[in-house]
Structures are given as structure tokens and as C-alpha cells.
Amino acid sequence: MSETPAGRHQAGSSGRPLPMTSAEEGLPAEVTVYEVGARDGLQNEQVVVPVEVKAEMVTRLHAAGLPAVEATSFVHPKWVPQLADAAELMGLLVERLGDAARRMPVLVPNERGLDRALDLGLEHVAVFGSATETFAQRNLNRSYDEQFAMFEPTVRRAREAGLTVRGYLSMCFGDPWEGAVPLDQVVRAGVRLLEMGAGQLSLGDTIGVGTAGHVKALVAAFAEAGVGVDRLAMHFHDTYGQALANTHAALQAGITTFDASAGGLGGCPYARSATGNLATEDLLWMLQGLGVRTGVDLDAVVATSAWMAGQLGRPSPSAVVRALAEPGGLAESGA
Ligand code: HMG
Ligand code: MG
């Protein structure tokens, strides 16, 4: 790993600034960036984005080298009108990308959603549960226990059909209605999803209230329950600007899969205080600086987010996108 001399600002082959790089001992050498922009990012947009624009966004993110690009959700179209075009989008993506599109993960809350994914030959699905009672009701129209009853046949049938299943768990840190969520409550809910057959558990800080020490405590609580870091992913929202600090803490705890959203798009339509996810570009910049490999082309993701910002009619909230892509930003001024 080459190190940037302290205080010097290097320009990359594209002429753009590069992060100072100094490998930090003890961190994973490589991590998986799990891109959720087309799903978590877009699901909260009030104006429906044309399906061709979504297809272009997903295609560009895939081309940037992101190993997992979550494309959409097979949820009830009345609950999330923005993603009512899920089948049409996947059809367009299969036309463009063939089997690579069938390998893109999608959300399915129930058997009806799974059937829609199976009809299209998709290979990776994710169920999404809540660690709290109130959010289960608001997001899934189910009680806490009923959500697991809904997932059980969904996960079982998906596994029988040879699909992999990711389990998302929301409200792993705090909940806007119930306040702080105890660690053991989160672990109990997560273990239920894993025991049901989810291969990976993504721990969601849905409203961004988590802080670095709490992240380490949660990873330790899962370890005590016999769930190692190889089964966990982290899903941070950046509401209070803590997502990168939390990511760094999770890296130190050995986590190697991080969810992020290109350009920092995002939010959850059923949790008002949920804002954008950790921006993929901000994550890539930090990982590059820490000497952690991802295989993702940062410039290509920045270009995609700058283009999406034009489509959505507002600037990206990502600091790295603003610095590298906006007129007058670092890239232009050479600062
Ligand atoms: P419900 O109204 O209770 O549904 O919604 P139901 O089971 O009573 O069925 C009613 C009708 O809906 C039936 O049709 C079903 O077939 C149909 P009818 O017989 O009346 O003609 N239906 C469906 N149609 C299409 N696709 C489906 C589907 N399911 C039922 N999948 C339901 C229950 C779970 C469907 C609903 O609450 C829902 O779609 N919720 C999704 C909410 C959502 O997408 N939230 C955002 C994602 S979660 C998130 O963002 C958090 C995360 O990022 C992590 C983090 O940050 O914490 C993952
Ligand atoms: Mg989310």
C-alpha cells in the first residue's frame, strides 16, 4: 500500500484529488460495498423516477464495479408507489445485463413478493424486519411476532428454490417511537432471522442515531450470542453525520460488508426521521484512505450520482460528490 506523504495533495490519473492514504493496522484488507441507492435511495422520492432512468442508474452502478447492486423492492405498490415498476425495471435490466441482472438482490416482504421475484428468475432476495413493535406495524402492517410469521414461509420457500436470503433488521439503535432499543432486543430479533435461514443480517440504523461505541457494543452482543462478524453487515443512515464514524468503528470490530447509497440518496417512507443512507462515495473515499480494498471505481460512482442529481433536480448530499463533481468544486478549482 502506497502512502501519501503527510500534507501533500496528490492528483489521480483523472486529475482529481485523492484521499491521503495510510493503511490502518487491524482493519480488514477488503470489504464488500452493498449498494442500496436504487432501492433505499429512491423509495422515498415523491416524484416517480422514470423506469428508464432507474435502469440507467443501476447499469452504471453495476459497471462501476459494485459487487451487489440492490435494484428494487417487490412490495405492495400502494405502500411504495415509487417502486411499483419493480417487474418492469428488472425486465429492462435483464435485457441490458442478462444474468448479471438476475443476480441483483431485491426486497421481498412476503410470499407474494417472493413469487414476483421467482417469476423473473431472480437469485437473491432480502426480507426486512424490525427490532421494535411500532416500526413492524408501521412498515409492514404486522405486529412484531406477525412479521416473523410472514417471513418464515417466505425465507423457507426462497431457500428451497435455491435463492440466497438477506435479513434486514431496522431500528437496531434507536426508534423514533420507542426510543433507545436495548442490545438484547436487537440480538433476539436478529437471531430469529438468521435461524429462519437468512445468510446475512444487515443491521439498520434506520434513523441515524447510532454512535461509534454503540456500534461496537452491538457487534460484541451478537458475538456473545454466537453470531460472528462474517454473518453481519452494517446499514447506516447519516441523519446526524455519524455514518462514517460508525463505519470506522464497525471496521475496527471486523465487519466486512457495508450498505451504502450512491450520492447519499435515501430514507424510509415509514420512518419520518430517516434521511439519506451513508453515501457510497464518502464510504469509498474513507476506505481508500484507510487502505481497504473494494474493487469499486469511485470516479464512476461520482459521475453516476452527479447525473442522478440532475435527474432529481437537486444536489447530492454527499460531501465527496459535491467536492469532486460540482462546478466550482475541488475538481475544477484544483484546490
Ligand atoms: P398489507 O396491506 O397488510 O398486505 O401490506 P396484505 O398481506 O393484507 O395483502 C393485501 C393485498 O396486497 C393483497 O391483494 C395482496 O395480494 C397484495 P388482494 O388480495 O387484496 O388483491 N400484496 C402484494 N402485492 C404486491 N406485492 C406484494 C404484496 N403483498 C401483498 N409484495 C405489506 C403488507 C408487507 C405488503 C406492506 O406493508 C408493504 O408492502 N410494506 C413495505 C414497506 C416498505 O417497503 N418500506 C421500506 C423498506 S424497509 C427499509 O427501508 C428499511 C431498510 O432500508 C433498513 C433500515 O434502514 O433500517 C431495509
Ligand atoms: Mg435503510
- Please indicate, yes or no, if residue 17 is contained in any of the structural domains: no
Q: 334 in a domain, yes or no?
A: no
Domain annotation covers residue 248: yes
Q: Which three cell numbers stand for residue 121?
A: 428468475
C-alpha cell at 285: 473515499
- Which ligand 1 atom lies nearest to the CA of residue 77? 25
User: What average pLDDT does the chain have?
Assistant: 93
Cα 10 from chain centre? 30
What value does the mean pLDDT take over residues 40-55?
Answer: 95
Residue 6 lies in a domain: no
For range 295-319, the mean pLDDT: 95
Residue with cell 432501492: 39
Atom 22, ligand 1: residue with shortest CA distance: 76
Whether 182 is in a domain gets the answer: yes
Residues 207, 268, 290, 301: which is the catalytic one? 268
Task: Starting from the CA of residue 269, give the closest ligand.
Answer: 1
Q: Percent of the chain at pLDDT above 90?
A: 87
74 band by pLDDT with thresholds 50, 70 and 90:
very high
Of the candidate ranges 75-79, 83-87, 170-174, 274-278, the one whose mean pLDDT is the lowest: 274-278
Nearest 5°: phi and psi at 213? -65, -40
In a domain, 13, yes or no: no
Angle subtended at Cα 68 by Cα 64 and Cα 74, rounded to the nearest 5 degrees:
120
What spacing in Å lies between the alpha carbon of 15 and ligand 2's midpoint? 34
CA dihedral (192, 194, 195, 198) in degrees, to 10, reads 120
**How far apart are the CA of 170 and the centre of ligand 2, in A?**
8
In a domain, 2, yes or no: no
Q: How high is the pLDDT of residue 332? A: 40
Number of domains the chain contains: 1
Ligand at shortest distance from the CA of 233: 1
Closest residue by CA, ligand 1 atom 35: 76
- pLDDT bin (cut points 50, 70, 90) of residue 1 is very low
Whether the predicted pLDDT of 117 surpasses 60: yes
pLDDT band at 9 (very low <50, low <70, confident <90, very high): low
pLDDT of amino acid 10 = 58
For position 200, what pLDDT does the model report?
98
Question: Would you state the pLDDT for residue 218?
Answer: 99
User: Which atom of ligand 1 lies closest to the CA of 110?
Assistant: 31
Residue pLDDT, tens place only, 170-197: 999 999 999 999 999 999 999 999 999 9
Residue-wise pLDDT for 135-165, tens only, equals: 999 999 999 999 999 999 999 999 999 999 9
Secondary structure in 3-state letters for the chain:
CCCCCCCCCCECCCCCECCCCCCCCCCCCECEEEECHHHHHCCCCCCCCCHHHHHHHHHHHHHCCCCEECCEECCCCCCCHHHCCHHHHHHHHHHHHCHHHHCCCEECCCHHHHHHHHHCCCCEEEEEEECCHHHHHHHHCCCHHHHHHHHHHHHHHHHHCCCEEEEEEECCCEECCCEECCHHHHHHHHHHHHHHCCCEEEEEECCCCCCHHHHHHHHHHHHHCCCCHHHEEEEEECCCCCHHHHHHHHHHCCCCEEEEEHHHCCCECCECCCCCECEHHHHHHHHHHHCCECCCCHHHHHHHHHHHHHHHCCCCCCHHHHHHHCCCCHHHHCC
Sign of CA dihedral 210, 213, 219, 224: negative
Q: Which residue has the cell 429512491?
A: 42
Judged against a pLDDT cut of 70, whether residue 269 lies above it is answered with no
Grid coordinates given for 111: 410470499
Protein residue with its CA nearest to atom 43 in ligand 1 = 139
The answer to the question of residue 16 being in a domain is: no
Over residues 209-268, the pLDDT tens digits come to 999 999 999 999 999 999 999 999 999 999 999 999 999 999 999 999 999 999 999 866
Q: What whole-number distance in Å separates Cα of residue 219 and Cα of residue 228?
A: 8
Q: Is 172 one of the annotated active-site residues of the chain?
A: no
- Nearest Cα neighbor of 189 from 209, 215, 169 is 169
Rounded Cα gap, residues 205 and 211, in angstroms: 10
User: Residue 275: its pLDDT value, please?
Assistant: 74
Give per-residue pLDDT as tens, 192-220.
999 999 999 999 999 999 999 999 999 99
pLDDT in the model for residue 44: 87
CATH code, domain with 103 = 3.20.20.70
Its domain, for residue 71, covers 26-326
